[in-house]
Structure 1
Amino acid sequence: MKKLIITLLAISSCTLFTFAQNPSTREMDRINWMEFAEFVPEKINTVLLPTGTLEPHGVINNGADNTAPFAMAKDLADKLNALIAPTLNYGITGSMANYPGAFQISEEAYAPFIRDILKGLARNGFKNIIILNGHGGGQTAVLQQVAEKVSNELGVRTLVINWWTYASDVTMEVFKEDGGHAGLNETAYIQAIDPSLVHKERYNPNQATAYPQNKAWSAVPFPSSIGLYQEGQGYPNFDQKQADEYFRKVNDKVLKLIQDTIAKWELAGL
């Protein structure tokens, strides 16, 4: 009996030790401040910051640019031993700002706001600040510029990823054609996350317009909420199997980029 009690106590101690290796949640807005202090920066020094905006996306949700990077962060956080900062849901929307439900934050307001967020993450002890950006256009340039300045100023390491551009080869691998804004690839990624956000009953291929090549023309608002990267390619197909495959392969590619970048930072002693 005594041996049994000792064994049970040992198992209990091991269990508690195991739980102590990982936080109760990876989401910063759900973790308690005392638990945060137990893990950052001693056990966790990487943070994932999803950024996006609210704008039209064909037959998927207006917040697709937020839904995608947050889902990506949740999928990768354990593998990277990272926490997830709250998603920055408003961004520099650009030529689709006049569509219903869209929001436009000026660069003059966005740049100092994102700068203070990055500084706050650094102040809280994160060494690796990984921005998973869900929205392109002018927002990309601002994120890259601000991240570079904060890195040089505070000695932290920053990485800004536009997932759809970085995974363009995955789009070609899975779909055998190029995608687009709210096109084949982005619609598939959202469909893999939550099919209820995809309203294919509202889909009309005439909603799609190919982006102008070589800046041959411009229109504001952009005439379609689905923007194709190539003429005749990238129309949504709503194939769930392909959507799930695409989600997995995109995340795997982004994961490897982050892991390789951190490993090289460490190797260089930065």
Structure 2
Amino acid sequence: MKIADMNWMQLESYLQQDDRVVVPLGSVEQHAYLSLAVDMILAEKVAVDAAEPLGIPVYPAIPFGVTPYFAAFPGTVSLRVETYVRVIHDLLDSLARSGFKRIVLVNGHGGNQPAASAATEWMLSNPGVKVRFYNWWNAPHTLANVRSVDPTSSHASWMENLPWTRLADAPCPDARKAPIDYQRFHVMNAAQAKEYLGDGNFGGWYQRPAEVENAMWQVAVEETRAILQGPWE
């Protein structure tokens, strides 16, 4: 259930029987022909779908993350690592103060990895609270499913081209893009990266049939749900 659909009294009642909560972590950045908010949309969607049968509340996704390499693409917003770590610490402080003891950060963006270290660091000073950082998009079963469809699938490919992220007025090509050279990409500045990437897709099929998309998403939801269930000890 979404925190947006609850009031504080309902949440207080929930905390009398359960202490789990989910916070999706997203990013607003270029995704080729897809929405700039792909990572935010998918992190929240997979969290809500996974948590719903368990009755665990899910916060709105934090929209902004760490993505300096896409800074030259219009619309991309990137936080400094220092800023992002402070946000994560403040977030966890607030959740613990409310009474949550088991917190899952469902991450939808690779650049947000500093949140994992920030959470581990935070737990040193808060031993009574457990925090799990979870990348839904490269979890073992989800990634295996994606690779079985196309081993070169990556950023802005079919695995992110879903009904909630595609744009009606900007259809994706019915094509397969050659994978980028990651060694070259990782030493480029933002302007060079924009020129090199072209439309922004990192490689793979731009789109796949609906049944393939749905199968991948179901695996992702079930794998995320398993994370929410534990183990927690």
TM-score of the alignment, normalized to the shorter chain, above 0.5: yes
Shift of 1:99: 0.5
RMSD, matched Cα: 2.3
- The code of the aligned residue for 1:161 comes to Y
Aligned partner of residue 38 in structure 1, secondary structure: helix
The TM-score normalised by the length of structure 1 is 0.75
Choose the corresponding residue for 1:143, options 98, 105, 115: 115
CA contact (8 A) 2:26 2:39 kept: yes
Shift of 1:111: 0.9
Shift of 1:164: 1.5
Shift of 1:217: 6.1
Change (3 A) 1:67 1:39: same
Counterpart of 2:180 in structure 1 is 210
Cα distance in 1, alignment partners of residues 71 and 185 from structure 2: 21
Counterpart check, 1:237 vs 2:207: yes
Counterpart check, 1:120 vs 2:94: yes
1:55-101 Cα shifts (integer Å, max 9, x gaps): 01011100000000110111011233311112100111121012111
1:64-213 → structure 2 map (5 Å cutoff):
64-137=38-111, 139-140=112-113, 142-154=114-126, 155-166=128-139, 167-173=142-148, 175-187=149-161, 191=162, 193-194=163-164, 196-197=166-167, 201-203=171-173, 210-213=180-183
Shift of 1:199: 5.6
Cα distance in 1, alignment partners of residues 165 and 155 from structure 2: 18
- Unpaired runs of 5+ in structure 1? 1-25, 229-233
CA contact (8 A) 2:174 2:207 kept: no
Aligned partner of residue 201 in structure 1, secondary structure: coil
- The code of the aligned residue for 2:209 comes to D
Shift of 1:53: 1.0
Cα distance in 1, alignment partners of residues 72 and 103 from structure 2: 32
Shift of 1:219: 2.1
Aligned partner of residue 54 in structure 1, secondary structure: coil
* Structure with greater helix share of residues: 1
Q: Percent identity?
A: 23
Q: Which moved more, 1:144-153 or 1:126-135?
A: 144-153
Number of corresponding residues:
224
The TM-score normalised by the length of structure 2 is 0.86
- The code of the aligned residue for 1:194 comes to W
- The code of the aligned residue for 2:121 comes to K
Cα distance in 1, alignment partners of residues 104 and 50 from structure 2: 11
Shift of 1:36: 1.3
